[in-house]
Amino acid sequence: MHVVTYIPNADPIAQFEERHRAAIDMAQGSGSSGAAVLALVVLCVLLHGEFAESAVYTVGDRGGWSFNTANWPKGKRFRAGDVLVFKYSPKAHNVVPVSAAGYNSCSAPRGARALTTGNDRVTLKRGANYFICSFPGHCQAGMKVAVTAARQQRDGRLEGLYFTTQPGAATAIPPPLQVANPSRQQR
């Protein structure tokens, strides 16, 4: 029998493959059609859970990564593992993950890795996540965003802060009993 272990923040593709192997092992080892059906149902439930765990957000919505995006997170609920997509012209902008100090001072530390594809995907870590454009004057003109990602609990409740518009000015919202939209599709 194949044992499946859930590892938070592990590679989702590796987890999917592990679940898939476990379902196949269960179906092959039983020899009965009932067990195969059970394995298929278990696989479907696990897949649904995997896709329901994270959401994909385009920073700035239709306008993309641009000036005055600092308030873009307002009203959104972010979780660790959610993905931010930064869409922009790579000739005019970039994205640099920074600390709170870098966000506040609009400066990237020496050797900071700038994302420059124009279609960058960043997976949120639990807690505060800060991003700026390091082109001269862009961050100062509002091309920066701070997002606080809550931790997803096993019972579906969220823990922590949902969003922040500026460091030190985070808005705390008590976690709901259940996630309002468990499908968590792209927003």
Q: What is the DSSP letter of 61?
A: G
- To 10 degrees, the CA torsion angle through 69, 71, 73, 74? -160
Domain count, the chain: 2
Q: Which residue has the higher pLDDT, 179 or 22?
A: 22
Asked if residue 70 and residue 43 are part of one domain, the reply reads: no
Residue 11: per-residue pLDDT: 57
Judge whether 187 lies within some domain: no
Closest residue by Cα to residue 40 from 28, 16, 24: 24
pLDDT attached to residue 142:
94
Is the full-model pTM beyond 0.95? no
Q: Which tens digit of pLDDT belongs to each residue from 116-160?
A: 999 999 999 999 999 999 999 999 999 999 999 998 654 454 544
Residue 152: domain span: 56-171
Identify whether 89 is part of a domain.
yes
pLDDT, the chain, mean: 74
